[in-house]
Amino acid sequence: MAKKSNKKKYFTEVHQDAIVAYTKTDDNKIRTQLYIDYIEPAFSEMVDKIVYTYKFTNLPNIDLLKEECKSWLTTILDKFDPAKKSKAFSYYSIVTKNWFIHKVKKNANSMKKEVHLDDLSRSSYEYEQINTFLTIEKSYENDRETAEFWYFLWKEIEQWSDLPLKENEKKVLEAIKILFKSADDIEIFNKKAIYLYIREITGLNTKQVVNNLNKMRSRYREWKRIWHQGKI
């Protein structure tokens, strides 16, 4: 395995492969080398980015907490199951965010208790910190729920390709996949624009697009119903 350095993509297939190799060997020497060369640098940057992105920087002693989190990640390295075909980055990102949100909850609860005991002596800055900690949890959970919704919806849509679809259904499905992958690059993403994009991609007329989208909409509604029931 050739060691690579990528400033833009700190968690690449190289690091994915290293983690998979780590889980598949019981040789401590090999595990240590994999961790030093590939896994630790990726974990270090991942923790830093998550702390910055979700504003966990407001936590007290954040530098110590980051080191504590990285140490904790080493204890669950072999919990990742490559057989589930999920990405190591997604798995460890989620557990890392969960780890920090637990710290936020713990700190927020502690600060709420202090408010009742020492209201008069607390500065406006400290109150602002309390409010920040209390809102981080809700913001994080909303972001996480949204990300998980789109992730599992994409997995569901990918499985539709295995269904016995008619030719026009296949064309519309492939167009939907293209729009999914290009969502960040599409400036106008409303209902009318989507119809136009699908028409351009598939070469179908509006009626054909609508008819085939309606078939997929029923599948989507059924999937969404199951999602809201917590069965996914």
Among residues 134, 153, 172, which one ends one of the domains? 153
Q: How far apart are CA 116 and CA 176, in angstroms?
A: 53
140-155: average pLDDT: 72
Percent over 70 (pLDDT), the chain: 73
| Domain annotation covers residue 1 | no
> What pLDDT, on a 0 to 100 scale, did the predictor assign at position 120?
40
**218 to each of 87, 90, 116, 199, 210, how far by Cα in Å?**
29, 29, 52, 20, 12
> What pLDDT, on a 0 to 100 scale, did the predictor assign at position 225?
87
| Domain annotation covers residue 8 | no
> What pLDDT, on a 0 to 100 scale, did the predictor assign at position 134?
53
| Domain annotation covers residue 201 | yes
| 102-146 per-position pLDDT tens digit | 888 777 666 555 444 444 444 454 555 555 555 555 555 566 667
| 14-30 per-position pLDDT tens digit | 999 999 999 999 999 99
Among residues 153, 185, 210, which one ends one of the domains? 153
Pair 132, 169 in one domain: no
Give the domain range for residue 175.
Answer: 163-228
| Domain annotation covers residue 158 | no
Pair 52, 130 in one domain: yes
**Burial class of residue 136 in the structure, from the number of CB atoms within 10 Å of its CB (0-12 exposed, 13-18 middle, 19+ buried):** buried
Pair 55, 147 in one domain: yes
The one-letter amino acid code at 147 reads A
Pair 138, 82 in one domain: yes
Pair 63, 149 in one domain: yes
Give me the number of domains the chain comprises.
2
Pair 180, 118 in one domain: no
pLDDT at 5 over 60: no
> What pLDDT, on a 0 to 100 scale, did the predictor assign at position 45?
92
Among residues 124, 153, 182, which one ends one of the domains? 153
125 three-class SS: helix
Least trusted range by pLDDT, from 80-94, 126-140, 156-170: 126-140
166-195: average pLDDT: 75
Q: How far apart are CA 187 and CA 194, in angstroms?
A: 11
| Domain annotation covers residue 194 | yes
Pair 134, 206 in one domain: no
Least trusted range by pLDDT, from 3-12, 112-121, 153-162: 112-121
| Domain annotation covers residue 34 | yes
pLDDT at 12 over 60: yes
Pair 22, 135 in one domain: yes
Pair 207, 140 in one domain: no
Pair 219, 135 in one domain: no
Pair 24, 111 in one domain: yes
| Domain annotation covers residue 5 | no
Q: At what angle do helices 167-181 and 206-228 cross, to 10 degrees?
A: 70
| Domain annotation covers residue 2 | no
> What pLDDT, on a 0 to 100 scale, did the predictor assign at position 55?
83
Pair 90, 22 in one domain: yes
Report which of residues 38 and 122 the model is more confident about. 38
